Structure 1
């Protein structure tokens, strides 16, 4: 009986730690998206990219296919958004954020660019995040 009681206490404690960690991790991820939004709206794609995994294994999936690697993803952004008029003003709406396992987060959202000169555009995105070396980074971005 005492063993079951102790097991219950340990499980309750671990559940509390997991919830606390996920809440903190959620704030970090949402904070990164807020910073990326600000960086984008300031016209700073280089700073915007700091939310991504700096690796050749980074995956970006867009309407033109799959791009692998941090540098190629960065170059793709520069090519698609060569000036402030095409960049417009970014707004993210978060539809779903979950933590399917430790150090992994899955986010679904909507994006919208307000572009008075080039015409507004928008769509949906999914981001797969991993906590690597103590830092949350986007390891896969599917934007349509």
Structure 2
């Protein structure tokens, strides 16, 4: 992997299925719920995917709002995706964005357009090729 890439390392020992995730000096756990054999000590992988989209969306909106001096006090993003067994090539992620602050209707509409500019949204909206070695 080259220096200009975003990287992550995951490690899983004999724990069922608590996985260590490292990136950029940070550390979290991913896991599965107990009913799937995990210990439920971390977010499920699909939840991490949603968290990536939600946090990237919020950060992108905040950057824009700050640059434009908008009176945006709070951003809440609710995300959902179907269960793994229901996924196919047309899987849909639903994303509801709620703004709190003294914003005009035009500003709210513009922030929704800006939401689609987040890098993770762009990645997920295009075909993804995964190369495994």
TM-score when normalising by structure 2: 0.35
TM-score when normalising by structure 1: 0.33
The structure richer in strand per residue is 1
